[in-house]
Amino acid sequence: MIAGALALALFLAAAATNGAPGDKPPPLINGVYVEKGACPGEGCDVGPRLKSRTAIAVYAEPSPKAKIVGKLRAGEWVRRLDQQMHLVPMRGVVEDPAKQGEQLAKGDIVYALLYQGEGCFDLWRRGARLDWCEPESMGSDYATIRWDARAPTAPPDVFWIKIRRAKGGDGWIKDLSDVQCLSRHDNEGCPS
């Protein structure tokens, strides 16, 4: 009897640390979710050509640990080949599904993935994706979710763009604060 109770206690403790039943997190690579072809946020519309405003490191692959294979010069135009968003999914538990009751149930474990803009995200639930918006910004139609705190050791979310330089050579850039033609809001002088 004591052995059975001990086994049950160990099972429950393992379940608490390994996720709840039905918890199926999105696929991760070294703790990071990779959304290929992503364009995060409102107004994201990366043009076919981009212009560097300052010198920007070019990486061999989309990883902060990758070898730096060059630097873009200020004013250099490059061709966009691909893009990826690397992020740590935010984990949460549905407290009230509201009008999303056909898609979500109280107690469901969900993960916020790509930010769409205006308080809305792509949500992951056991392998299925759905739209979700913060009820505070979009109204009571959306589920109320209690989000886990982000681990202080979690890597930052990074938007990577694969580029080709005019004189040849492909690589990935991540420092996008000084890149022109990334959105509809920053497209003056950008080729279409």
Q: What's the whole-model pTM score?
A: 0.80
Tell me, yes or no, whether 28 lies in a domain.
no
Q: Specify the number of domains making up the chain.
A: 2
User: Residue 54 sits in which domain range?
Assistant: 33-84+154-180
What DSSP state is assigned to residue 61? S
pLDDT of residue 175: 79
Tell me, yes or no, whether 20 lies in a domain.
no
pLDDT of residue 97: 93
Q: What contacts 99, CB < 8 A, 6 or more positions away?
A: 140, 141, 142
In terms of domains, do 163 and 80 share one?
yes
What DSSP state is assigned to residue 183? B
Of 18-32, 125-139, 161-175, the poorest mean pLDDT is in 18-32
In terms of domains, do 77 and 159 share one?
yes
In terms of domains, do 39 and 129 share one?
no
Q: What is the pLDDT of residues 67-109, one digit of tens each?
A: 999 999 999 999 999 999 999 999 999 999 999 888 999 999 9
pLDDT of residue 168: 85
- Coil/strand/helix, residue 99: helix
Q: What is the pLDDT of residues 122-148, one digit of tens each?
A: 999 999 999 998 988 777 788 999 999
Percent residues over pLDDT 70 in the chain = 83
| Confidence at 12, pLDDT banded by 50, 70, 90 | very low
Tell me, yes or no, whether 124 lies in a domain.
yes
Tell me, yes or no, whether 5 lies in a domain.
no
Q: Are 110 and 94 in contact (CB under 8 A)?
A: yes
Tell me, yes or no, whether 9 lies in a domain.
no
pLDDT of residue 192: 66
Tell me the C-alpha distance between 89 and 28, whole Å: 9
